[in-house]
Amino acid sequence: MRSTEYKEVKRDFTERGENMDEMDLDLQQMIPDILNGDTARFELIMQRYQRRIFSYCYHMLGHYSEAEDCTQEVFIKTFRKLDQYNLERPFEAWLYAIASNCCIDIIRKRRLSKYFPVLYRSDEHNRPVDQAIEDTYYNEHVLRAMSKLTPEERSLLILRCVEDKDYKEIADIMQQNSSSLRKKFERTAAKFRKYHAHIQGGRPDGSRQPQSRPQNHIS
């Protein structure tokens, strides 16, 4: 009889409607090696997911350097928590959840910095002007409309419209029910459209009214 050998992924339980067996197959082979001391293999995980995590952080934070720092922090935290990773959950969803928490922490600190500038002063003021300009998010209207959303709403919008995740995947990341996420997304999308249209001046051609000083952070 013909035979096939598998080093089979066996999970305790899955809440998802997808067969996860193959999705994380090589990761499941690497994670034990990393935990047993082969740190170098973590680089493979970074190479696989870094671009997406950076993109997510960039859209969440609207700032290149902060997104870069956040991405770094995400992977360091992932490494530190690797022994806590629960195979019930898809690895990518777990990674995005860490990224989401990281970004939300930064956004909260920004808000606090308005009230406690001495405690939370960033070094932005010490940076050369050209670097500050490069750090600026590409689309100011989007940035300002996003600033009207809560961090959770922002995350939902980005996961759906930028990362193209379906509701089941988002449910895994945000650990919420996919039906309620669907409703939340529709409300969030409506909210974003309203603010975006308002910021654009309500002009069909998207041309701008005179703007006040650009905001290069969303908080």
Contact between 205 and other proteins (CB under 8 A)?
no
CB of 112 to other proteins, least distance (A): 25
Contact between 127 and other proteins (CB under 8 A)?
no
Q: Which of 191, 214, 211, 201 is nearest to 145 (CA)?
A: 191
Contact between 97 and other proteins (CB under 8 A)?
no
Among 111, 121, 183, 193, binds other proteins (CB under 8 A): 193
The Cβ-side half-sphere exposure at 207, using a 13 Å CA radius, reads 1
Question: How many residues belong to the site for other proteins (CB under 8 A)?
Answer: 79
CB of 114 to other proteins, least distance (A): 26
Among 115, 119, 129, 164, binds other proteins (CB under 8 A): 164
Toward other proteins, which CB reaches closer, 22 or 118? 22
User: Quick one: CA torsion of 36, 37, 42, 43, rounded to 10 degrees?
Assistant: -150
- Residues 8-37 touching other proteins, rule: CB under 8 A, are 8-30, 32, 35-37
- How many angstroms separate the CA atoms of 67 and 145, rounded? 19
Contact between 153 and other proteins (CB under 8 A)?
no
Q: Which residues contact 154 (CB under 8 A, 6 or more apart)?
A: 59, 60, 107, 146, 218
The 35-74 contact track toward other proteins, x by CB under 8 A, reads xxx-xxxxxx-xxx-x---xx--xx----x--xx--xx--
Q: Which of 125, 130, 162, 164 is nearest to 146 (CA)?
A: 162
Task: Note whether 93 and 46 are within 8 A (CB).
Answer: no
CB of 219 to other proteins, least distance (A): 19
Contact between 81 and other proteins (CB under 8 A)?
no
- At residue 94, what is the residue type? W
